[in-house]
Copies of this chain bind each other. A is one copy, B any other.
Amino acid sequence: MFQRNSVIVFVLWLCTVLLTGVAHATVDREKLLSEPGVYGTFAVFQVHEDWWKLDQASRRVAAAEIKGVIQKHGERVAIDTYLLRGLTEKADFFVRVHSTELMSNQHFLVDLMGTTLGTYLKNTVTFNGIAKKANYVPGFPADLQTALKTPPDPGPKPYAIVIPIRKDADWWLLDQAARTTLMQEHAAATVPYLKTVKRKLYHATGLDDVDFITYFETATPADFNNLVIGLERTRENRHNKRFGNPTILGTIRPLDEILDILTR
């Protein structure tokens, strides 16, 4: 049994190596992550306890299968992987998937969940959203607009946080000017943290039970803590009917590292 599995592992590994060598038209990740109109799907997974009852060889075969799926969909979707285990309860990892068609996100996730490892995964939380052009920034004073263009410091930002937000009816019934005033206050509170905290916003109204999915990367969780305290101190906070629940905190990790944790 062991020997046979070892051979399979080797063959799969060989395939992976060979495939990786082949030139593939892969999706332009940078473009997908920066342009409006792109759909983002966040899918949180928890490994079922029966997974650990498989022997290591079987788990390795299963893990290798995942890489094939990633490869297959790489032409259409950009995939980022995150380790939640240890920092977020009832969760092991999550994937963030971007594509110009929400259907492509689904196709990838259906294939992922259809692998052997996939059949041991519980999909505990999913958020869907769409990137848009900034709503309020054009109405901000020029100096704030300039400040908001501050690029994040270079270097790795290993921590990632996802916070879903639902606004109350009063928020949506404010006119654009009133909302711009509140968002200006909100934006100003973020300025001191633009270098240490990267942010990306997704609009989710109607696609999910939240209005926004806010995504952050940082190297200093302490800074992020101060940033969110700053945001809680703005009047716009009065209109957050839901903020988090769950807050998803993890670390950015290559797929290999996550699979390694699940197979060792």
CA of A1 to CA of B44, assembled, Å: 38
Instruction: Please tell me if the beta carbons of A158 and B103 are within 8 angstroms of each other in the complex.
Output: yes
**B residues in contact with A203, CB < 8 Å:** 225, 229
What does the 1/0 interface line of A110-141 toward B look like (CB < 8 Å)?
Answer: 10011000011011111010100000000000
Stretch from A11-19, A26-34, A235-243 at the B interface:
A235-243
Instruction: Please tell me if the beta carbons of A119 and B52 are within 8 angstroms of each other in the complex.
Output: yes
Q: How many copies of this protein are present in the complex? A: 5
A195 at the binding interface (Cβ < 8 Å):
no
A261 at the binding interface (Cβ < 8 Å):
yes
Interface members, chain A 1-50 (any B CB < 8 Å)? 37, 39, 41, 43-44, 48-50
How many of chain A's residues touch chain B, expressed as a range?
35 or more
Instruction: Please tell me if the beta carbons of B128 and A109 are within 8 angstroms of each other in the complex.
Output: no
Residues of A participating in the B interface, judged by any CB pair closer than 8 Å: 37, 39, 41, 43-44, 48-50, 52, 83, 85-90, 102-103, 105-110, 113-114, 119-120, 122-126, 128, 130, 158-159, 161, 163, 167, 169-170, 172-173, 203-209, 211, 221-222, 224-225, 227-229, 232-233, 235, 237-238, 240, 244-247, 249, 251, 261, 264
